[in-house]
Structure formats: C-alpha cells, structure tokens
Structure 1
Amino acid sequence: MQYLANAKPKGAAIPSGLQDLLLAVVNTCTALSDEVAQGALIGLLGSAGSGNVQGEVQQKLDIIANDQLIAGVKDCKALAGLASEEMELPLPVQGTGDYLLLFDPLDGSSNIDVNVSIGTIFSILKKQAPQAPLQTADFLLSGRHQVAAGYVVYGPQTTMALTLGDGVVMFTLNQATGEFVLIHDAVTIAHSTKEFAINMSNMRHWAEPVRRYVEECLAGTSGTRDKDFNMRWIASMVADVHRVLSRGGVFMYPWDQREPHKPGKLRLMYEANPMSFLVEQAGGASINGTKVIMDLQPTDLHERVSVMLGSKDEIDRLQQYHS
C-alpha cells in the first residue's frame, strides 16, 4: 500500500517493520475477501463441527480465516508472536522483531450463512521485553499500548479502517486491481447522535443504567431527551462499529444478568481494545460502563468486557448513569 510508505503519523514515517506487518495483514484480508464472497460456491458455508477456546461453535470460515492469517503473517521478520480469539495460547513465530499481533479472524461469523457483513479485527502491540522468550503476559497490555489497530469489513464493498495513533483512515478494496484505495483520510465521529445499536431482546437482563438510557431513547420527543432516535442492530460488531465510524451513533454490548460472573460478552484484547482505539482516534469514546476501556489492565488473554462506544456526548451520558 502506497499509504504505508508515505504516511507520517505524528510527523514520523511508519517503521518499516510495522509497514511489513500491516501489509501482510492487508494482503491476507484481501484473499479472505474473495473467499467470503464466493461462500457456498466453494463449500465454505456452515458449521465446522468444532468449538473454539471460548466454547463457541466454529464456522468453517472461522477456521480458514484463522489459519490464513497465521500463514500470512508468520514469516514477517518484525513479528515476535501472535494471539487469536480462536486459540487458547499465543503462537511464537520465527521473526526477530518486537511486534505482537492480536486478531479476531472473522467477527460476526454467526451471520456468514445469511450473507450479512462480517469482518476481521486486528491490534498491534510492542513487546516490552524483545529479547525474552514469548509469554502470554507479553500480550496483557492496556489498549494505550497499541501502536496500530483496524478492521476489514467484508460487505457490499470490502472496506478497511486503520489507526496508527494519529486519526483514522479508511480504504475500499478495488476488486479489479486487488489494492486498497484511500477513501477517507480523517474519519470523525460527531459528538451527538440520534442513533443507537443494541440487542433489544436482552433488555430485561440489563443493568439499570443501560435500561434507563435505552428507555429514554425510545421515549423520543415525548421524553427527557426531546429527540427521536433510530435503532440499528446487525449482530456483527465489525459492521455495527463501521456504521458508527461512518455516520456516528452508539454501539452497546453491555453486561447482563444471565451470566453475572462474566463482565461482558466481547473480548477485551481482540475486539474492545482495537475498536476503542479507532473510536477514540475518530473523536468518540468507549467505556465498559464506569471505566474507559483503553485504560483497563487485562489479566487474561481471553478476558471479556462490557462495551459501550461511539458519539462522545452519548457515552458521557452512559458513564454518568453508571456512576
């Protein structure tokens, strides 16, 4: 990508090792985009008949995406190791660099068979002890340590959002050339919105602050908010967050009382941190209810978290209700 060679986030060129790693991720996602588009034509739909470390049923494309991402980046010399939502433990690689890659290979995979947008989410950290053998603890850094994060959404167009800590840029894949083309060089999220995304069928299970917020939105102009809201829900985080980055809004996947011992459903390292990085860099905000997600100190590679992100004024209101 020409962008990686020429961009100067925070006034400095992107390190060559980071460029190589990002390019390896992008090239793999380009190939995945083609396979997702063919779907049933090449026998990729349906369950794989296995479960992942999360105890979730894997789709065929979950496994294929995971394997292809590993194969696509493992020879990158800048990479010290990688971790995936689909694997219990991190995977050391032969590289001599100090970058760590975390990814959700195929977010929203329950939507594969019904042809709804799905995607790949990735996060890149710097290994704090480059010479030491790879350990799980190397990955357990707060979101503030991310040097890059992004996602690729496989929809009507294949689109990538990327941040290197100096704003958010967005690209669309040119299917004819196989290249990602820059379409937005400064993505911003409006501070106010009239749109929210949440699974309303779970309303009876939410904590009171979330229920209060949603009830006020539903009351529209007759309620305390004095404006009508629209509700959206795709059940694919990558697609829902892409909408927030594209036109504003709020996305919520909160804690609920059906599994009270779990702080949330989404994974901090593979989903919440990279998406929070993107949203913050676009001028939005992201919290788990009371705390800023990017400030959370992870204690487990597959830690779960409640997520509320998007337009800053609305997230501030949600945090105030939780307080």
Structure 2
Amino acid sequence: MNKNSLGLPIGTTLDRFIKKKQDEFEYATGELSQLLRDIALAGKIINREVNKSGLLDIAGAYGAKNVQGEDQQKLDVIANIRFTRALRNGGQVCAVISEEDEEIIHLDQNCRYIVAIDPLDGSSNIDVNVSIGTIFSIYRRVTPTGGPVKKEDVLQPGTKQVAAGYILYGSSTMLVYTTGHGVHGFTLEPSLGEFVLSHTNMVCPEDGNIYSINEGSWCQFDQGVRDYITWCKEEGLTARYIGSLVADYHRNMLKGGIYLYPSTEKVPEGKLRLLYECNALAFIAEQAGGIATDGKQRILEIQPETFHQRAPLYIGSKKMVEKALEFCGQAEEAS
C-alpha cells in the first residue's frame, strides 16, 4: 500500500483560505479576515444548537414577537445572542443591525465594520427538521471611528457591501461568502469542527427549470407575476419551495432557478428585509453570474431609508429573472 494514501489531505480550511485571499481585499489589514472567522465560529455554535434542539427545550416559540411583528422562536433568540456575542468578542465590529432588534446594537466604536444579519432565517421550520440558515452582510462605516455609529453608517446601498454570505444548516452545514472576488462555499467537517473548501468559484447557471414562490399568495399577486407563473407551468418547469430563504436560494444557485417573493396586495412593499436578506443574497447572486431585482431596479442600488426596510425580490439565473421581468413589464403596459 502506498503510504501517501494513508494520509490523504482534508482540503483547504476556511481560515487558511481567508488568509490566502486576504490581499484581494482593498483594506487588507486582517480585520475583515478576523470578522469572517468570528461569523464562522458563531455558525458552528448555532449548528450545534440546531442539531440538539429536539433533545433540549430550545425548539418552538419563545413567546414574544420581534420588531417585524413575527413570533420569535427560541432559537431565533439564541442565534441572535450567539452572533452578537461572537462579534463583540472578536473586536472588529462597531455595530450590528439584526432582524431580532429594533435599534442598532452598539459594540466597539473604534472599529470600522457594520454587520447586518438575520441570525436564523426560516426558524419556524426547525420543529420539522427543514433546512434553515443565517444571512449576513458587512459594510465599512462612513463616519470616523472613535465616535458613535450613526444612521448613515448603516443605511448604505448594497453596492457598498465589502462582504456578504450565508450559512446553511441542513443535511450538511455550509458557509458561502463573497468579498467581491467570486463566491466560495465551505462545508463543515463535524469531526474536526472546521469549515473546509468544497465549492470553488461557484457559478449560477445562466438558465434553469426551477421556480420558487409561495403560490398560496396567488390571489394577492400582480397580474404580471401570475402570468409568469402560468408560463412556468405551461413550459413544464419544476416548482420547488421550501419556505427557508437560504435553502431555496442555495438550491437554485447550484442547479439554476429563480426565487420570487414579490409584492402583494397585503404587503405592497414586499416582505423580505433589504439590509440583511436581499442585499446579501443579491451581492452573492451577481458575483455568481445571476441577477437580483425588486422588479423595477437592481437590488444593490436601492437606497435604504430604515433599518428594517422591506423589498420585493426576484433573484437567480439571469435568463429566468429576465423572463419574469418581461412578463411583469408587459402586464404594466397593458394596465
């Protein structure tokens, strides 16, 4: 037996990859690298909590509502605490804006980075063992360090992101991120407790055959969206909708597809949050060759006005998103 076969390499760890790629970043001082490691560490802890949620009393509703008016799950609260604590202890973040908190969470005013985060997306699916995720977006503050973080530091368009990513907790746990130089995915090797490079330079297929939308809201959709969904059915496209944004997006990015969460009569402004859901995934989508729009303009160019601003979202394979916009434009012209 060849002795080399007894010690096969495990691959490139996230930590080693970040160090290797650090020079690609415009502000290469090591701060962003440490910040990404802090997020990865919190992700490992949340992965542990999620995996044991059925054995301990940490699944189910917490008994309170978040700033969005949504029922908080116990793991929503746990994830928010874990990520905030990891970012505070890491010492690279001046403020956090979270789905679970109404106002800015102030950390170290001497630091340069703002993190916008949905600590646990799709948490209502935990009780039934459906994949869930974390979504994060990173910005550099625009006001001088040493003073309190201001609204203008947080309310930046997606084009100002320096990094964004998500962690998917499913059959395997993956961390996917971009710093504007391609998209890379890392799978958690549980016996080592390390994220290992598994998907290099991820590319979203230009076209696909999967459409993801909550058709239960059909009667609330604009006519253009209805026309597009009807076309998808007539063309024999496949409907896949998990109800966890990260999981639906991740599948479509790998296999080719479109995810739609349009405005409705009940929520004309859309449901998904711009700062810590739409912007992050839009940055990743564009880096992978896809498109992200609110139906009228590029997601990354929307100027946010409030911390928890919502937006419609059409995201995924280039040709599929363009086709959806074509139907929406035709409907508007007809009206």
TM-score when scaled to structure 1?
0.94
Match for 2:254: what amino acid? S
Q: How many equivalent residue pairs?
A: 314
- Superposed, 1:1-323 pairs within 5 Å as 1-8=15-22, 10=24, 14-94=28-108, 96-131=110-145, 132-220=147-235, 228-260=236-268, 263-323=269-329
Question: How far does residue 14 in structure 1 lie from its aligned partner after superposition?
Answer: 4.7
Using the aligned pairs only, state the percent identity. Answer: 37
Match for 1:245: what amino acid? M
Question: How far does residue 204 in structure 1 lie from its aligned partner after superposition?
Answer: 1.5
Distance in 2 (CA, whole Å) between partners of 1:62 and 1:320 is 38
Match for 2:272: what amino acid? L
Taking a change above 3 Å as real, the CA distance of residues 64 and 188 of structure 1, as seen in their structure-2 partners, is: same
Distance in 2 (CA, whole Å) between partners of 1:271 and 1:102 is 9
Distance in 2 (CA, whole Å) between partners of 1:15 and 1:99 is 13
Root-mean-square deviation over aligned CA pairs: 1.4
Distance in 1 (CA, whole Å) between partners of 2:192 and 2:206 is 37
Question: How far does residue 137 in structure 1 lie from its aligned partner after superposition?
Answer: 2.8
Match for 1:93: what amino acid? L
> Which segments of structure 1 move beyond 6 Å, counting only runs of 4 or more?
none
Match for 2:264: what amino acid? D
Q: Which residue of 1 aligns with 2:3?
A: none
Task: Give the gaps of 5 or more residues in structure 2.
Answer: 1-14, 330-335
Distance in 2 (CA, whole Å) between partners of 1:11 and 1:49 is 43
Q: Is the 8 A contact 1:189 1:284 kept in 2?
A: yes
Match for 1:243: what amino acid? R
Secondary structure of residue in 1 paired with 2:115? strand
Q: Which residue of 1 aligns with 2:12?
A: none
Distance in 2 (CA, whole Å) between partners of 1:144 and 1:184 is 24
Distance in 2 (CA, whole Å) between partners of 1:149 and 1:14 is 17
Q: Is the 8 A contact 1:287 1:319 kept in 2?
A: no
Distance in 2 (CA, whole Å) between partners of 1:9 and 1:112 is 39
Question: How far does residue 321 in structure 1 lie from its aligned partner after superposition?
Answer: 2.8
Q: Is the 8 A contact 2:142 2:152 kept in 1?
A: no
Task: Give the gaps of 5 or more residues in structure 1.
Answer: 221-227
Match for 1:203: what amino acid? W
Distance in 1 (CA, whole Å) between partners of 2:46 and 2:36 is 15
Q: Is the 8 A contact 1:7 1:14 kept in 2?
A: no
Q: Is the 8 A contact 2:212 2:259 kept in 1?
A: yes
Secondary structure of residue in 2 paired with 1:271? helix
Q: Is the 8 A contact 2:109 2:148 kept in 1?
A: no
**Highest Rg: 1 or 2?**
2
Taking a change above 3 Å as real, the CA distance of residues 14 and 173 of structure 1, as seen in their structure-2 partners, is: farther
